[in-house]
Amino acid sequence: MRLAPSILTADFLNLGAAIGAVAQADEIHLDIMDGHYVPNLSFGPIVVQAVRKTTDLNLSAHLMVTNPDSMAPWFIEAGCSLIVVHAEASTHLHRSLQNIKNLGAEAGVALNPSTPLEVLEYIAHDLKRVLLMSVNPGFGGQLFIPAIYDKIKKLVKLRQAWSCSFDIEVDGGVNADNIGMLAQAGVDIAVVGSAVFGPGDPGERLQRLRRQVIESQAHLEGRK
């Protein structure tokens, strides 16, 4: 399972240093909030441009916005290689995904905790990634919703039934207590925010999480 630190909970007065501290991550996760789709504001493409200059890691933009079609090009131009839009916010989801890919980026879809997986069926082959929200979007530091474990396992089965190869990502409340269980459930990418950018060194916290993932997956292999 790959780890994607979210800079939402990083120290923005020392953002370059924070990103440098997690240089061993697999990608950087960017939570883009507009204050309309979710009750919070985060940052825009100018900050993303600055982040792009500080790291060679891939940047993924999670657009929690009401107008993803008009905003996606900004973040692609700013340096994001993957754009994730919310199914609930897109009026014409297939068109949104095609527009992203036509601009040279990869496309993903995010689902809120209460959104059923079936909305993905007719676009599943167009997706690079499915992001399952394990908290209600809008704020960092929330508690993981346990019902998402079953949702992950169901999506793993649906991916096989649909003969698709998209990655399954989980975002919200991921920490040392649940990251091993997420790996065993079939998650490919975990977004880690306050679990990394909390007290102490972000790089060390990231590596501890990675060791937990490796140990959990080794334990699962040993049971087979």
Active site residues: 31, 171
121: tokens are 């069926």
Among residues 86, 94, 6, 96, the alpha carbon closest in space to that of 42 is found at 6
Phi, psi values for residue 37, rounded to 5°: -65, -35
Secondary structure string (H, E, C) spanning the chain:
CEEEEEHHHCCHHHHHHHHHHCCCCCEEEEEEEECCCCCCECCCHHHHHHHHHHCCCEEEEEEECCCHHHHHHHHHHHCCCEEEEECCCCCCHHHHHHHHHHCCCEEEEEECCCCCHHHHCCCHHHCCEEEEECCCCCCCCCCCCCCHHHHHHHHHHHHHHCCCCCEEEEECCCCCCCHHHHHHHCCCEEEECCCCCCCCCHHHHHHHHHHHHHHHHHHHHHHC
27, 57 in Cβ contact below 8 A?
yes
